Amino acid sequence: MLAAMRIAGFTIGVLAVLAGAIWVAQGLNLPLAPRSFMTADRAWFVIGVVTAVGGVAVATWSWRHA
Return the half-sphere exposure (C-beta side, CA atoms, 13 A cut-off) of residue 46.
3
Q: Which residue has the higher pLDDT, 1 or 10?
A: 10
Q: Give the single-character DSSP code of 34.
A: P
Report pLDDT digits (tens) over 47-57. 999 999 999 99
Residue 66 has pLDDT above 70, yes or no: no
Return the half-sphere exposure (C-beta side, CA atoms, 13 A cut-off) of residue 31.
0
Q: Give the single-character DSSP code of 37.
A: T
**Mean pLDDT, residues 15-23 taken together:** 97
Residue 29 has pLDDT above 90, yes or no: yes
> What is the Rg, in whole angstroms, of the alpha carbon atoms belonging to the chain?
14
**Mean pLDDT, residues 36-55 taken together:** 95
Q: 12: pLDDT confidence band, cut at 50, 70 and 90?
A: very high
Q: CA 41 to CA 55: how far, in whole Å?
A: 21
SS3 of residue 28 by DSSP: coil
